Every structure is written in structure tokens, then in C-alpha cells.
Amino acid sequence: MPKSFIRLVRFTGRLGLAFAAVVGLAVLFLVLIVLTDGAGSGLAAWLITLGAGAAAALWRGRRRTWPKRLVPFVPVIVAAALTASVCVPTAPTERRYPPALPFATTQHWRLATGSRVAVYHYPPAAPDGTRHATPLVYLNGGPVRSISVLDHRFLRRLASQGYDVYAYEQAGGGRSDLLPMDQYTIARSVRDLDAFIDHLDKGRADVLGFSSGAVVLTRALADPGVAAHMHRAIIAEPGPMDGPTARITGQKGRPSARGLAPAMAGPRSTHVPRYAVAFGLMRLGLLSPGTGLIGQAEGDNAFKAADLGSDTASGYCARDAHRIPAEDTAQNFSFSAAASLHVDQTIKDSPSIAPQLRRSRTPAMLMIAECSAQVRQWETSVLADDPAIQRTQYLPGVGHHMWNGLDDNNERASAVIDAFLQGEPAPLPNYPTRADIPALLHDHR
């Protein structure tokens, strides 16, 4: 056998062992990140990994001559360099808030709960001078996220119909101030809503809650003290309202654009090792939202719209996969993945609110999208347990983000809202009713 071939085999074997050593040290580092919950920006895990690698290299080189003793350290140095990239911030560690919107003035209100939230006010602007006396409060989805430009456009449309529209970004979202991580709870969100209506000082308010904002609204309706401050409630595409509902796995609406739409363009924090590891392990539940690997402010600064990936596409019907509108601008977009996960976990950990919701008396309407990516039972559970829901509006041809600017979707959504708030006949059939729930689920609608 030629000596050159033998040398090649030996070199390949040594290269394979070196590669295995690098991979092994990287895996050890990730395990230690989880075990230490990212303590010290990951530095604790990195130092232990480096120490273990150096000890193994010393042991392997103990019988070698001096120059060759350094060879086992090469994989350690490579692994140390790779894992060090997880420990070094590349986004600002102090919160960088989005700049002011060109079309709306941002106010900041200090609520009685201690939350300091960013507030947007769209006064009535109907061409015919119509002014509805009851203020309309909007709760956006997220849960800890900026209000998108797409949503702002819809709120302006409601104002053009004579509504006095107020919206606020929930604590930690958008231009609102951050909270300590353990204070991001669904209970705090409900208290903030109550405090916001009280701060308005305009009597009872109509409230429109969308997605996770609809969850806040649903739970507020189950609290008599908070519900007393609401005139009418619109629950649009709600997520799970409590722990038992969150554990339901079932069907969704008609097919969404998830998996069909082109990948979102733009920068991604998840292309950076530090944030890919942090957000990935948090999503898997292996790191706590309050992890020491990245601070809350740094995580908020780092997260980009493209990091949402197929989550955005899931808000649209399959037929709209190749014409999904730009929901937001890079300057306005803000999402706190860690705080949102913490809020979601408090919902999952909460007991059933069905007994309290069954005592609700606030007139309410449920809005459901045909191509909803939400589990249908999340929506039908609200319908089944809230006796004060007076009508349900099933909007055909739209996904989870019902007012999306495509075709006449905004007009149809605003017509449904306007008719309910003014006590006028519904523009769509009252469907599904409570009696229709089994058939809705059976027909996979």
C-alpha cells in the first residue's frame, strides 16, 4: 500500500478526531448554557468549556514531545473562538426605542399599575362630522410588540367613521417602557387595560382586542371589576384564554399561507450565533425568558421582522401567499420575544376562567377569520363560555390578520365593527352560533 495513501488516511483520521473534538466542546458549551441559564452572558459556560477542553488537551499531549503537545489545543482554540461568538453582544444592550411615527403623535402615560405605555390617539375625523361619544380602545396582538403600521392605518379608518380611537402598546412593547421580566403576566396586562380606561376618564369604553389582545380582553370580561368599565367588547381572533384552553390541540381554519409564501426579506438576528442560540433555546423552553445570556433590552433591539418567518405568512390565506403586504416598517417594528414568552407561559399556567366568563354581562362580538391559523377551539371556547356574545362574524377570504389592506378586507372588517358598536344589523350572518360549533369543527371551517 503506497505510503502517500497511508498518510492520507492518517491525516483524514486526525482531522475527523479534531472535528469531533470541536463539535463535542460546542455541544458541552450549549449544555452548560442551558444548565447555567446563560449566566454572565454565557461567559460561565464558556470558561467551563474552555477549562474542560484545555484539561483534555493537556492529558492527550502528556507523552508527546514539546512541539507536538500543542497540537491537541488546536480544536480547543477553534471551539473557543466559535462559542465565544455566543457570548459577545452585537446589538446595543440599552433599549433603543423606535423613532416617532410620521403620522401620529406618541404620548406616554404613567398608569396606576406603574406601567408607562406609549399611547396613540386618532380623534373622530368623519367627513360628515359624525362623532361617537364612547371612546374605542384597541389592544394589539403580540403580546409584547409594537402596533404595526398596517394596524395604524386601520385605526385611522375607524376614526374616519367617527370613532374616538385610542391605542397603546402594552408594557415592554414598541415605545412603551420595559418591565422587570417577572412582571410580564397576563394578569398585569388585564390590570393595565383597566388602568388605561380609568386614565382616559371618559366613562365606559368600547374595546377591540386582536389576537393576544383579544385574550387580554376575554380575561378582562371574566373580571367583574374590570368589565364594569367596558361598554362593548369585540374579540377578534383570540388565542387561548387560559391553561386548559392552551392545552387544546385541534384543527385550524382554511389553509393559510404558511409554507407557501416566499421567505421574508431583510436582516435576521437568528443569523447571528448569539441570538440564534438565545432565541432558539428560549423557544424550545430550555432557557428562561429572563435568561442571563441576553438582557431584555438587547433581545428587543436584536429581534427583526424577518425573524418571525412563517408566523407572518400564517396570518394570510393560502391564495394570498404571493401578495402578502408589508405589515410594518423596519423603523417601527419591535418585538420582545422573551417578554411575550413569559406572558404566554402565565396563560398556560393559569386555571380555567370559564366559570367567571359565564357570568359576563358586557355585550360582546366574536370575529373569526376563514383562514385562521389559530386553533379553532381557542375561538369556540370563548363563544361557548361567554353568554354575553351577541353575534359572531365569520369573515370569508381573510386570514388571522383580518384588516390587511388587501382587496376590500379593511372595509368589510370596519363595517362589521361599526354595525356592532352602533347596534345595527350585522352585515354578515350570525355564524357560528353556539349550536353551530360542532358542525364548524366537523366541517373543518
Q: Domain boundaries in the chain? A: 3-84, 107-264+307-442
Q: Residues in the chain with pLDDT < 50?
A: 9
What's the pTM value of the predicted model, to 2 decimals? 0.92
SS3 206: strand
Phi, psi of 386 (to 5 degrees): -105, 105
Looking at residue 61, its pLDDT comes to: 66
SS3 308: helix
Looking at residue 252, its pLDDT comes to: 87
Q: Percent of the chain beyond pLDDT 90?
A: 81
Looking at residue 205, its pLDDT comes to: 98
Closest C-alpha among 231, 195, 233, 194 to residue 214:
233
Q: Which CATH number fits domain 107-264+307-442: 3.10.20.740, 3.40.50.1820, 3.10.129.10, 3.30.428.10?
A: 3.40.50.1820
Looking at residue 212, its pLDDT comes to: 97
Cα–Cα separations (whole angstroms), residue 83 to 41, 237, 253, 395, 435: 12, 42, 42, 49, 57
Cell numbers of 9, please?
488516511
Task: Give me the torsion for CA of 24, 26, 28, 29, rounded to 10°.
Answer: 170
Burial class of residue 283 in the structure, from the number of CB atoms within 10 Å of its CB (0-12 exposed, 13-18 middle, 19+ buried):
exposed
The identity of residue 189, as a single letter, is S
SS3 370: strand
Looking at residue 65, its pLDDT comes to: 64
